[in-house]
Amino acid sequence: MKVLVVGNGGREHAIAKKLLESTRIKQVFCVPGNGGTATTQGCQNLSLNIDDFQGIERFVMVNNIGLVIVGPELPLSLGIADYFQQRKMMIFGPTKAGAQIESSKSWAKELMLEAGIPTPKAAVFTDAEAAKAYVLEQGTPIVIKADGLASGKGVTVATTVKMAHSAINTIFRGEFGTDNLRVVVEEFLTGQEVSILALTDGITVEPLLPAQDHKAIGEGDQGANTGGMGAYAPAPIVTPELMERIQEEILEPTLAALQKRKIDYRGVLYAGLMITPDGEPKVLEFNCRFGDPETQAVLSLLETPLEDLVLACCQQRLGEYSIRWKSGASVCVVLASGGYPGSYQKGKVITGIEEAEAKGAEVFHAGTQLKQQQLVSDGGRVLGVTATGETLEQAISKAYAAVDCIQFEGVYCRRDIGRRALGDKN
């Protein structure tokens, strides 16, 4: 079978490589892909836009592609799954209605409240002054969230009223889009965040291994928020008992609430949770897709062929599978361009990937490009160096040994990816 993957991040490179582990997958096409998918054997990039549904459809038809997997939220929120489903083509990812769980925080909040899903207390405002008055009433710290998609930039954890008010002003100035201006003002929670990526066919929902992302740019979780500086799996804070609670109190009721809204959700349901100090799992956000860089860590441990699971989701047969995992742990360390998440330079020549892979790691590309046969940086997050080991300690040291082989001007990474889990255990 031939598969087409939509997206150009580390997540999509990891999905493409995982698919190609199976002898049944003959070729993977990426729209638009990156320098990694351009150089992976069996993989080919297509210079089409991710919102060019007609162009993608034409390629799928002409080339007899059996399955489309959508990485990012944007095409899902624009209805790519609806478009392909209407044309009886196999596509992995929820419809536009389902993608609202990520594309509208107020919609997701309403769904959670209706279904009794544990989530921080919040209020939704369409008016800046009312939102500001509510902040004064509640006090700080408090969390201000833009309603729509904001490429990870729409959330402010405000420690002062001034900060909260300024975040509200930014949102109502239309910085994150001007359609349907709304703000969600949410109770601040402390605890540990975990990412639960679950597969669903609309009937059954099966969590993948729990993962933990490192969102802050600096070590010890200091500094600005990023798309994710590294991840590891499985996250030991999610014990089997806690996973059972997450399944029963969050994943299953969410799916039931979607069904109640007549939404046939097939794809990934990603629950971003806070595990509060008293051990309660609460939903901070839902995403309608695989996480990046959690996917790089989680798929490295997946034993069941990915295409079997993805096809089972599309064909409502997920109940036939019990997902198998390799033993041990996995860690993905992101190498970023100096300056990220602020401004940074692109076009820096990257060396040492082969040496890094010779250390037993797998290097997934994110912001890279092949330019005149030379691999150069092309984004904020450039590479995801991923290693597995029998223990998390082993995975971490293997990943960093590989990281140290790679060079490009200004390269930056956090040196503490996964360390929090080691602290937990001791």
List 12, 102, 186, 307, residue binding ligand AMP (CB under 6 A)? 186
Q: Is 238 or 375 the residue whose CB approaches ligand AMP more closely?
A: 238
Encoded tokens for 387: 């290693």
Among residues 207, 278, 290, 208, the alpha carbon closest in space to that of 249 is found at 207
Minimum gap (Å) between residue 215 Cβ and ligand AMP: 5
Minimum gap (Å) between residue 292 Cβ and ligand GLY: 5
The residue behind tokens 């609309």 is 202
Decide if residue 148 touches ligand GLY (CB under 6 A): no
| Backbone CA torsion sign across 223, 228, 231, 234 | positive
In which region does residue 157 sit, left (phi positive, over 0), alpha (psi from -120 to 50) or beta (all else)? beta
Decide if residue 215 touches ligand AMP (CB under 6 A): yes
Cα 278 to Cα 94: distance, rounded to the nearest angstrom: 33
Minimum gap (Å) between residue 292 Cβ and ligand AMP: 13
Decide if residue 228 touches ligand GLY (CB under 6 A): yes
List 147, 186, 249, 294, residue binding ligand GLY (CB under 6 A)? 294
Helix axes 161-172, 128-138, angle to 10 degrees: 160
Decide if residue 237 touches ligand AMP (CB under 6 A): no
The residue behind tokens 């209605």 is 97
List 33, 98, 291, 367, residue binding ligand GLY (CB under 6 A)? 291
Decide if residue 378 touches ligand GLY (CB under 6 A): no
Q: Which does 120 bind (CB under 5 to 8 A by kind): ligand GLY, ligand AMP, none?
A: ligand AMP
Helices and strands (DSSP H and E) totals, the chain: 16, 22
Interaction residues for ligand AMP, span 115-134 (CB under 6 A): 120
Helix, strand, or coil (residue 81): helix
Cα 265 to Cα 217: distance, rounded to the nearest angstrom: 33
| Backbone CA torsion sign across 183, 186, 191, 196 | negative
Decide if residue 189 touches ligand AMP (CB under 6 A): yes
Strand partners, 273: 194, 283
C-beta atoms surrounding 295 within 10 Å:
32
Interaction residues for ligand GLY, span 168-227 (CB under 6 A): 213
Decide if residue 209 touches ligand AMP (CB under 6 A): no
Residue whose C-beta lies closest to ligand AMP: 285
Ordered strands of the 205-207 beta sheet? 205-207, 192-200, 267-275, 281-287
CA distances to 8, 259, 290 from 244, in Å: 34, 21, 21
Q: Which does 355 bind (CB under 5 to 8 A by kind): ligand GLY, ligand AMP, none?
A: none
Name the phi and psi angles at 132, rounded to 5: -65, -40
Q: Is 183 or 298 the residue whose CB approaches ligand GLY more closely?
A: 298
End-to-end CA, the chain: 46
What is the number of residues in the chain? 426
173-181, 184-192, 261-269, 307-315 -> range binding ligand AMP (CB under 6 A) = 184-192
Q: Which does 414 bind (CB under 5 to 8 A by kind): ligand AMP, ligand GLY, none?
A: none
Decide if residue 102 touches ligand GLY (CB under 6 A): no
Q: Which does 143 bind (CB under 5 to 8 A by kind): ligand AMP, ligand GLY, none?
A: ligand AMP
Note the residues at the interface with ligand AMP (CB under 6 A): 120, 143, 145, 155, 157, 186-189, 193, 215, 272, 284-285
Note the residues at the interface with ligand GLY (CB under 6 A): 213, 228, 287, 291-292, 294
